[in-house]
Structure 1
Amino acid sequence: MKRFYQGLIRLLAAGENIVVATIFNSSGSAPRSAGAKMIIQADGSITGTVGGGRLEAETIELAHKVHKSKQSLLQKFDLTGTDAAGVGMICGGAGEILVDYIDAADESNRQVYEAIITAIKQGKKAWLITELAHDQVGGQLCQLRQQCLVQYDGTITGRFKCEPEFMLKLSSGPAKISIHADAKEDRRFIVEPIRSAGVVYLFGAGHVSQQIARLTDMAGFKTIVIDDRPAFANKERFPLAEIIVIDNFAHLPELAINSNSYLVIVTRGHLHDKIVLEQALQTEAAYIGMIGSKKKRDLLFSVLQAKGYSSADLIRVYSPIGINIEAETPEEIAVSIVAELIKVRAERENVHK
């Protein structure tokens, strides 16, 4: 998402007015694609996606109209069958999409997006709030528009007039962790949490990994599955994850592992675990977890210490992996592991409050 906003800022800096489309749902369970974003330039070029298919085609067409009118709007959609599945919808294919006109001449816009990038880099919680006033003529939601970024400490970037109590309500409560909408009289507010949710790298595509991937998606992590077995690492088994099929674990491809990465080592054998762990210890990952018993861990650690790894290196490793809930089945083990990931992520976020 950081790259998305960086690209957005580059376009504004070049003096190009753009349209940003964002999927959300105003009530009930949010679609899995909620928060998906796409930039539509005046020449029709796009960056990002809102899921492809009919919805994306209609959004691009709508964006052309917004470019001409220079007025943001909200559009309801209701997809069925294949269309809904194509954009990852659950609980039906209904929702809304914000088609937002961004004026390059308004310096406040760039300031808001630059503040978003800073918040992401620093791991700070923030909320992007966009208000569209209700146009009584024709009944469509359009300008007046205002937008700001509200950070956890109350700092506000951008021009935004709103009662302090209502502003606090927008970024608190159960909805504060997912994109949502709120209303006050004839005003509509779209609130988008900006949080560095993290990327989980699953080394191994077995049964436990399959269950982990389901839960990491629900918890807001981006998930990447890595294995040398195409029969295991594929979209049929991991429909919500990115798949990387490798030749072997000894020579992993270049991965974008950084301080917002969570490495989960659940390969099919001790040797593979050791090979991956050695490479994981060379990274600045926020979390390195390895499945297995204490006996297996101690044996592997002694081998690594003999190779020159220090206690400070090995103390980074969560092993046995997961919170102790006496888990036995793959599903239960996955719950314990993802609970630990959530805990580590929350602790990191709290440091940056």
Structure 2
Amino acid sequence: MLRNTLLAIAEDLKAGCTPELSPEDFPCFSAEAASEDPRTSPEALARIAASLGPEDACVFERAARAMDEGDMAWIGFKVVTDAAAAQANVDNEVTKKYGDVGSADGCDLVFFCNDAKEVVAGRPCSPRDLFQMKDVTRGPSMHNDQFEGLTWVSTQLFDSVKVWLAGASDVAVEVAALAHHVGFDVEVIDDDASYLSEARFPDAERTLLNSFDELDSHAPSQDDYVCVLTRGHMHDPESCLWAVRHGVHYVGMMGCKGKNNRVHDLCIQEGMTEEQWDGVKRPIGLKFGAKTPAELAIAIVAELVDVRYRQRYSEEARAKHEGDVW
């Protein structure tokens, strides 16, 4: 989403005009999202846009500022399907109580929330609303269907982490699907079009090389992750050298100890330092006995999630979160 889009929406609202909210900017209301939950259709987004007024401009202005500041923040929506049920208190005996009031009203709502749990909304919210508004920080929301008559969705205002898969192996197929599912942007690089097909990688960007010698024509950023998963390990040395040259945040390589020792020798011959080699996670993924491509993908993506968590959150923030959860 573009910052200027948010400010244009705010200006329309302050002028008393109905803004245009597009599913392209708010993909939580895309046709794809609606196929999973009809309540979050493009038509629902149009209904919400028509309900907004000048008092809601502050949400979009705060969102634009969050983008300026590089904040981890979201624009969220309360989507009401049954006004009476939304306002009824349906807390159960297990979950924490949020008073005797359900949602503050039976109307749709747009709001801002960031990872510091700052909430901005132009209309009154009940304690239960606030609980669910803050919940969008678990991306997009974890308890969106805990109560009847409404649901909660959100769109993040920050970039997703990009994961490069060096090699279109069978393990890479499984990693690409799972990494996409948990919110990574995925790009797969290979030199064989038959392996690098849309059927194998429907949710990933695909880049076909003439040879792995062309890797340096593509430049990952220092915030990106690289998973070295080449077919038959044929191009592991070139891929490791490429990732290290670009100083990516994380690089991991699949393979057994014996093979990886050979890759080590080849990489050192090409100028990699021992310190740089030590920065390559090998074997890639968490250790829990994974063997099949699908099992290895779970191990790898679980590690990527953990790396992303540690990259985004301070030690203090992680300790607080882990204390609350565990």
Asked if Structure 1 and Structure 2 have the same fold, meaning a TM-score greater than 0.5 normalized by the shorter chain, the answer is: yes
Cα separation, partners in 2 of 1:131 and 1:271, compared to 1, 3 Å = closer
Cross-structure match for 1:139: none
Query: What is the distance in 1 between the residues matched to 2:177 and 2:80?
Result: 38
Structure 2 SS opposite 1:192 = strand
Which residue of the other structure, out of 284, 293, 301, is the alignment partner of 1:338? Answer: 301
1:328 is paired with a residue whose SS is: coil
Aligned equivalent of 2:139: 177
Partners of 1:131 and 1:116 in 2: CA distance = 20
Distance 1:253 1:304 in 2: 16
**Could you give the per-residue CA deviations for residues 283-340 of structure 1, whole angstroms, max 9, x where no partner exists?**
2433211111223323323443344433432232111111112222212211211111
TM-score normalised per structure 2? 0.69
SS in structure 2 of the partner of residue 150 of structure 1 = strand
Match of 1:77? Answer: none
* Whole-Å separation in 2 of the counterparts to 1:239 and 1:349: 28
Cα distance in 2 for residues equivalent to 1:184 and 1:133:
11
Which of 2, 6, 9 is matched with 1:5 structurally? 2
Offset from partner CA, 1:225-258 (integer Å, 9 cap, x none): 2111111111111222222222121113754633
Q: Which residue of 2 aligns with 1:295?
A: 258
Contact 1:128 1:147 in 2 (8 A): yes
In structure 1, the gaps of 5 or more residues are: 24-34, 39-49, 52-86, 137-142
SS of the equivalent of 2:290 reads coil
Instruction: Report the equivalent of 2:40.
Output: 96
Cα RMSD after superposing both structures? 3.9
1:4-43 to 2 correspondences below 5 Å = 4-9=1-6, 11=8, 18-22=19-23, 36=27
Q: Is the 8 A contact 2:39 2:79 kept in 1?
A: no
Q: CA 1:185/1:270 → structure 2, altered by over 3 Å: closer, same or farther?
A: closer
Moved more, 332-341 or 162-171: 162-171
Counterpart-to-counterpart distance in 1, 2:197 and 2:77: 38
User: What is the CA–CA distance in structure 1 between the aligned matches of 2:145 and 2:20, rounded to whole Å?
Assistant: 22
How far, CA to CA, are the matches of 1:306 and 1:177 in structure 2? 44
In 1, Cα distance between the equivalents of 2:240 and 2:183?
25
Counterpart of 1:68 in structure 2 is: none
Matched, 1:265 2:222: no
Against the structure 1 CA distance between its residues 248 and 184, is the aligned structure 2 distance closer, same or farther, given a 3 Å change threshold? same
The answer to whether structure 1 residue 304 and structure 2 residue 267 are counterparts is: yes
Is 1:112 aligned to 2:62, yes or no? Answer: yes
Q: Is the 8 A contact 1:196 1:260 kept in 2?
A: no
State how far apart, in whole Å, the 1-side matches of 2:146 and 2:175 are: 36
Q: Which amino acid aligns with 2:285?
A: G
Quick one: which of 226, 229, 240 aligns to 1:277?
A: 240
SS at match of 2:75: strand
Indicate how the Cα distance of structure 1 residues 7 and 182 shifts in structure 2: closer, same or farther if over 3 A, else same.
farther
Please name the residue that 1:128 is paired with: 75
Task: Classify 1:171/1:205 alpha carbon distance in 2 versus 1 (closer, same or farther; 3 Å).
Answer: same
Q: Distance in 2 between matches of 1:232 and 1:327?
A: 23
- CA contact under 8 A between 2:7 and 2:60: conserved in structure 1? no
- Relative distance call for 1:347 and 1:315 in structure 2 (3 A) is same
Q: Counterpart amino acid of 1:346? A: Y
Match of 2:324 in 1: none
Which amino acid in 1 is paired with 2:2? Answer: Y
Structure 2 CA distance for partners of 1:18 and 1:170, relative to 1, 3 Å: closer
Aligned to 2:181: 218
Post-superposition CA distance 1:43-76 (Å, at most 9, x none): xxxxxxx35xxxxxxxxxxxxxxxxxxxxxxxxx
Q: Is this contact kept in 2: 1:292–1:319, CA < 8 A? A: yes
Counterpart of 2:154 (choices 180, 192, 203) is: 192
- Cα distance in structure 1, aligned partners of 2:273 and 2:80: 60
The 1-side partners of 2:243 and 2:120 are apart by 38
Q: Is the 8 A contact 2:163 2:227 kept in 1?
A: yes
TM-score normalised by length of structure 1? 0.65
Question: Is it true that 1:243 corresponds to 2:206 in the alignment?
Answer: yes
State the one-letter code of the partner of 1:113.
A
Determine the C-alpha separation between the residues in 2 that align with 1:304 and 1:116.
42
How many pairs were matched up?
282
Residue number in structure 2 paired with 1:150? 113
CA deviations on 1:115-155 (whole Å, 9 max, x unpaired) are 44257x35x3x34233578999xxxxxx9765332223222
